[in-house]
Amino acid sequence: MRFTLSFILSIIFAVGLVAFGFTFFQSSAEKTKLNNELEFRTGQVVKEIFHNDTSFFEKIDQKSINRYADSINKLYNLLGFAIYYNYDSILCNSSVSSLIDYSKAYVYQSVTEETSVGNFFKSDGKKIYQYVKPLKHIDRYNKAVVFYADARYINKVIGRIWFRNFMGWFIQAFLVSVITLLLIRWGIFRQIKKIVIWAKAVRTGGGGEIRPEPHMDILDPLHKEIEFMAKEMHAAKASADQEARLRTSAEAIWTPERLKVEMENLLQGKKMIVVSNREPYMHIHDGKEIKCIVPASGLITAMEPILTACSGLWIASGTGDADKETVNKHNKVEVPPDDPKYTLKRLWLTKEEEKHFYYGFSNEGLWPLCHIAHTRPTFRNDDWKYYKKVNENFAKAVLEETKDEEEPFILIQDYHFALLPELIKNEKPKAKVAIFWHIPWPNPESFGICPWQREILQGMLGADLIGFHTQYHCNHFLETVNNALESRVLWENFSVKKGGRTTYVKPFPISIAFTLKDYDIESPKIKPAKLLNEYGITSQFIGIGVDRIDYTKGIVEKFLAIERFLEKNPSYIGKFTFVQIGAPSRTLLKSYSDTVSAVENEAIRINLRFKAKNWKAILLLKRHHSHEEISPFYSSSDFCMVTSLHDGMNLVAKEFVASRHQNDGTLILSRFAGASQELQGAIIINPYDIEKSADAIKSALEMTKEEQNQRMIQMRLVIVRHNIYSWASTLLRTMATIN
């Protein structure tokens, strides 16, 4: 009885609050509307009176005012009127004599300003509206007429709205609560009680004596699996405990909505600017039409939630062939196109700037320098000059956008803009500036190869905060600073003091947009045959790899591991296909075009070696694929293989884990990717060790469902708790707390 009463009262109270809110809003709106209508109608009445005949106001005296008032009131439904000659000389009809004192101040205002004035007031609990009209006498306004209208009907209308709406909602809430309670008690509760009895019998070992009633279809499959469930009870209980911990921690999981509130609290109305080389949206010509696409980039995945949450500004290089046609005169465009949430400002690089700044110093110099992966970095004086020039151009753009703001938040992205923090801080010292380095930071000896290492470090230390993916990269950066610059490195709080400025160096492991809602999504698993059918391939097992075709991704090493796996396990020939989705990038650089050729040649060689009808060992899909195209491969493959030779984080690993809604499948992950420090449920490999990598493929394909389940649940819990919204909040909170 107590539960029933509490349940009904809870629903009534909750819905009553909603009813109160809706009624309050409606009544307020209606009151405003009625007030406006009365004001307008009274004004129109006064205009009509003065339009018809104004001379009679000159003839009115104390004896005749009641007669005139009755005539006007009957014709226009007013309470009465009063004529003010001065404070000592006032004529009014008897019905409004008590209202005179409420009007004196407004008469003075009306006469002084030579304009009509209207307002509401209360007299003896009655709501009255008065309209003051100044009268011109001998070329000046020195007297006025005040008209009074009864506004009590407004309160009556509002009262009826409150009674009708609130009682309607209240009765509805009561009926809904009673019906809901009946459905729960007589439907769900009865079923739950029987399930509890049955489950208790299974737990205590008496499952064979309990048979679900025939009409309880939900229990029939369970009854058939009682013995199996008893054996697997321990594993099931462990999984249930993990699920329960996820549910109970739901309030701590970051969402876009929670990030938006956090951003509002942190920014306090200050402007947020993100600066990157790559733009989040690119406009290109598609025939006669202009098409908007999203470039493939983990950086975009990370930054967009921040800009969306605060309606900020993103400054980036415009690279689409239709970009200039879609911006306004300030080179800005609102994005996303279908539902604008923030502003994108595009800067234009010349051909020379693109050649030396982007392809030259950034991607032939800093990229291989930081990744330490086979390709020797190239440093040219011209590249460095253009690198400085582009950084200066972006600094000017940032300063222009923040000229009216003293303390903006500026978040700079990646190795393209190492000089930008100092350039901004020199001009705007109170700005909150952070730079996030998305790629690894090498050891001090390796970075010392760069001829301009001091200038790069000096530029980065202009920031209040420098972020890397891992503490390992932070340590390398601090060691590099310690060796190269006259500065004080404080290891106790991972900061650098130089020239009166303190820069904090912190790890912020980046992630993906994966919330509890995404965790709970159930999606059907597509069979490998259906996925591969359009490519003329039949296969029982599928592995998936998704990478830019880059020499740091270890794609050739991955293919060699697949070849060795098939050598050692010939029973999988004709049954296992590895799908490598590879997007070519920076192909104007020889090192990248050579990598594309090497990847293609290895795939052709291995496929020829293990040639079979309607089957390939490796299916290489060499083009950019959208997330929608990749998703079926993520969710349906038996494993994903990430073989980065050196990587900042690698979000592909996290995207694969997030897609496994049935908690199956296996992740094979390079220990040189930052993600390996978080995703302990993966099979961690050294991609240079071909033999061990081949064994890892066999382990992934033959791993039991129970072990797959345990590993995948553990990794998915890590990602949902440390998603991109959590990453953004931690980074921005750290920025905000730095003085």
**Distance separating alpha carbons of residues 186 and 192, to the nearest angstrom:** 10
Sorted by sequence, the CB contacts under 8 Å of residue 697 that are 6+ apart come out as 543, 561, 562, 565, 639, 641, 668
Angle between helices 651-659 and 627-636 (to 10 degrees): 60
Residue recorded with tokens 């790069």 = 456
Residue 631, classified by CB atoms within 10 Å of its CB into exposed (0-12), middle (13-18) or buried (19+), is: middle
Classify residue 80 as left (phi > 0), alpha (psi -120 to 50) or beta.
left
Residue recorded with tokens 């009306």 = 110
- On whether the CB atoms of residues 619 and 578 are closer than 8 A, the answer is yes
Q: How far apart are the first and last CA of the chain?
A: 58
Q: Write the CA distances from 14 to 4, 23, 285, integer angstroms.
A: 15, 14, 53
**3-class DSSP state of 23:** helix
- On whether the CB atoms of residues 219 and 198 are closer than 8 A, the answer is yes
**Distance separating alpha carbons of residues 155 and 128, to the nearest angstrom:** 11
**3-class DSSP state of 471:** helix
The gap from C-alpha 77 to its chain's centroid, in whole angstroms, comes to 58
pLDDT tens column, 344-393? 999 999 999 999 999 999 999 999 999 986 789 999 999 999 999 999 99
- On whether the CB atoms of residues 663 and 708 are closer than 8 A, the answer is yes
**Distance separating alpha carbons of residues 331 and 231, to the nearest angstrom:** 66
**Distance separating alpha carbons of residues 384 and 452, to the nearest angstrom:** 8
Would you list the DSSP string of 632-701? HHHHHSSEEEE--SS-S--HHHHHHHHH-TTS--EEEEETTSGGGGT-TTSEEE-TT-HHHHHHHHHHHH
Residue recorded with tokens 């592995």 = 543
Among 444, 446, 436, 438, which Cα is nearest to 373's? 446
Among 725, 731, 739, 722, which Cα is nearest to 505's? 731
**Distance separating alpha carbons of residues 500 and 616, to the nearest angstrom:** 62
- On whether the CB atoms of residues 38 and 149 are closer than 8 A, the answer is yes
Predicted confidence at residue 140, as pLDDT, reads 59
Which segments of the chain have a pLDDT < 70?
A: 1-5, 7-8, 11-12, 51-64, 86-89, 91, 93-94, 136-142, 181, 183-251, 296-298, 373, 523-524
Predicted confidence at residue 51, as pLDDT, reads 66
What sign for the dihedral angle of Cα 671, 674, 678, 681? negative
Give the strand pairing for 501-507 and 495-498: antiparallel
Predicted confidence at residue 238, as pLDDT, reads 41
Sorted by sequence, the CB contacts under 8 Å of residue 542 that are 6+ apart come out as 528, 531, 532, 576, 577, 578, 579, 633, 636, 637, 638
**3-class DSSP state of 92:** strand
Query: Nearest 10 degrees: CA dihedral of 221, 222, 227, 231?
Result: 120
Among 675, 641, 617, 687, which Cα is nearest to 546's? 641
Give this prediction's pTM: 0.65
- Altogether, the residues listed in the chain come to a count of 739
Would you list the DSSP string of 228-286? HHHHTHHHHHHHHHHHHHHHHTGGGS--HHHHHHHHHHHHTT--EEEE-SS-S-EEEEE
Q: C-alpha angle 650/298/658, rounded to 5°?
A: 65
**Distance separating alpha carbons of residues 117 and 110, to the nearest angstrom:** 6
**Distance separating alpha carbons of residues 384 and 365, to the nearest angstrom:** 9
**3-class DSSP state of 429:** coil
Here the contacts of 8-15 (C-beta below 8 Å, separation 24 or greater) are 8/174, 8/177, 8/178, 8/181, 10/177, 11/173, 11/176, 11/177, 11/180, 12/170, 12/173, 12/174, 12/177, 14/173, 15/169, 15/170, 15/172, 15/173, 15/176, 15/177
Structure tokens given for 634? 């993520």
Predicted confidence at residue 219, as pLDDT, reads 43
Please give the domain boundaries of the chain with CATH numbers for all domains: 2-155 (3.30.450.20), 173-250 (no CATH), 524-722 (3.40.50.2000)
